Structure 1
Amino acid sequence: MSGDGTIGKACDVLDHVASFERPVRFAELLENSDFPKATLYRFLQSLTNQGMLSYDRDRQTYAPGMRLVRLAHAAWTQSSLAPIARPFLDALSQETGETVHLAQLDSSQVLYVDKRNAAQPIEMYSQAGKVGPAYCTGVGKAMLAFLDEDALNRAVSQQSYHRFTDKTLTSEKMLRADLDRIRSRGFAVDDEEHEPGIICIACPVLTSNGRMLGAISITGSTERMDFDQLEAWVPRLRRVAEQIGTEAQAWRFPETGQSSKNDRMLMT
């Protein structure tokens, strides 16, 4: 539960409703809620009155409201790398024929902001708009590796280290060792660490001053490729990441001299 008072609690309720990925009844929300029945109902009513949630009287279900959709669209346009990166993702996807992801950090987790499916699509967890772990995904580790020290320490301390596969990094020590390797070679790999049979290479999207904005990856299946084939795309992936970083810096995240610590924290 959030510690940010009424606003934080309301955001928790919004997250809870959205987590079902379908319209949801009050009883379902109450079953897994930290709030008492009356408190949960009061938040749902307030959020519905504000247009942040919608309520279907016939089905008696709650779902994200149109006001939230408008805010999400504004955030996607103004704060996301996706509009800037779109032509670069299109070109990379067409060239490689593999799945391409674009991600940013959201509260020390990976937020997938855009995706291009492979010519021969494969089933995987990631979808645009979904949140995933940072410590065991290529894009997540690529972003963590290039955070400043304060932001990195904060993000590393918030990882869950749940074991998804036999190859998942399950401790801070293991993760930090891998992040050192990533900084040294300039790209990250996911060797079936999040999902069996899914491998990827990822590069950070950085400004010219090294500020981390996001990450981009190429993802494949072990059923039809190995790491040697995938890593052959690293030079191309690195160039695309640099192009997105340059474009983003010029149009969305311009450098205005030396940023303050607070500015850096906000941007990461």
Structure 2
Amino acid sequence: MPQSGPQWVDRALAILDEVASSPGPLAAKALARRVGCSLSTAYHLLGPLAERGYVTRTARGYVPGPRIPALHREFRRQWEPAAGTAELLGRLRRATGGEAYHTAYRGGVITVVDTTAPVTDTANPFAPGRETRAHATAHGKALLAALPRTARRRYLDEHGMARLTAATITSAELLEAELARVRGQGFAVSVGEADPAFTCLALTLPGPQEAGAVHALSVSLPTEEYRRRPQAARLALERAAAGSL
């Protein structure tokens, strides 16, 4: 018997998550097994998802549907702090040679909204989506430093401070000291704290914004490359944030 109500919605979303994160097409039987439902329930849920364009059925199984790119486009538009943010990321990438990112805090959530990194670059550790490693990333530290202490503590209590590398800050006291430095110098740096191979720089974007929302601009470079020209990368980031790049 097909599920209804909240469980129905939860399983439909679970199916969508499985299809989106799979390296290839997934058969209905595999989806039913992964989300813990019967095959008939899986088909019952896949029908409206396919009809609305969220998934597409192929000879090998289900893949993301044509509605997904439109959702991403609208997501970026509604989170964009100002017109032209995507173009700004492109200019920052050309100026630094590293990948550029727009990240935002909104409604208690930190999200990597947009990036110049190709979607096929699975080695890039800062893909678009929900960010749970704010304590270890430059964009996360820039955003946390700009938040009221209660909002910052709420975020960290929810997501924790996992040790990702030997350089990750996992002490609340040490992180508060680091965030005080960020506020004092006006930018954040993460040298191998989220991924040992990358160094990131970030700063918050100025100007009027939605109440409770904070936006950050950041760039990531291989650590060895960053060490050869740290000042140039920071200058380009500051110019981009000021709109003069």
Give TM-score scaled by structure 1 length: 0.70
Equivalent pairs, count: 233
Q: Identify if the C-alpha distance between structure 1 residues 28 and 171 changes in structure 2 by more than 3 Å, giving closer, same or farther.
A: farther
1:55 paired residue among 52, 57, 61: 57
CA distance in 2, matches of 1:77, 1:179: 29
Does residue 138 (structure 1) correspond to residue 138 (structure 2)? The answer is: yes
Residue-by-residue CA offset, 1:115-168 (whole Å, 9 max, x unaligned): 168xxx9x53234x3544322111122122213445323322222433221112
**1:223 maps to what in 2?**
224
Q: Distance in 2 between matches of 1:230 and 1:69?
A: 35
Amino acid at match of 2:68: L
User: Counterpart amino acid of 1:222?
Assistant: T
Shift of 1:204: 1.3
Question: Please, which runs of 5 or more residues in structure 1 have no aligned partner?
Answer: 245-268
Distance in 2 between residues matched to 1:167 and 1:19, nearest whole Å: 29
Match for residue 24 of structure 1 among 23, 26, 31: 26
Q: In 2 relative to 1, CA 72–217 (structure 1 residues): closer, same or farther, beyond 3 Å? A: closer
Output the aligned Cα RMSD.
Answer: 3.4
Q: Does 1:204 align with 2:204?
A: yes
2: distance between equivalents of 1:27 and 1:175? 46
- Whether contact under 8 Å (2:139, 2:218) holds in the other structure is yes
The answer to whether residue 65 in structure 2 is matched with residue 95 in structure 1 is no
TM-superposed CA distance for 1:114, in Å, is: 2.0
Gaps spanning 5+ residues in structure 2: where?
A: 1-5
Name the SS of the counterpart of 1:158 in structure 2: helix
Q: CA deviation at 1:75?
A: 2.5
Letter in 2 for 1:13: I
- Cα distance in structure 2, aligned partners of 1:200 and 1:21: 28
Residue 21 (structure 1) shift: 4.7
Ranges of 4+ aligned residues in structure 1 off by more than 6 Å: none
- Structure with the bigger RCO (C-alpha within 8 Å, sep 6+) is 2
Aligned-residue offset at 1:171: 4.4
**Whole-angstrom CA distance in 1 between matches of 2:43 and 2:176:** 43
Query: What is the TM-score normalised by the length of structure 2?
Result: 0.76
SS of alignment partner, residue 224 of structure 2: coil
In structure 1, the residue matched to 2:86 is 86
Q: How does 1:170-249 map to 2 (within 5 A)?
A: 170-208=170-208, 212-226=213-227, 229-243=229-243
Q: Is the 8 A contact 2:79 2:113 kept in 1?
A: no
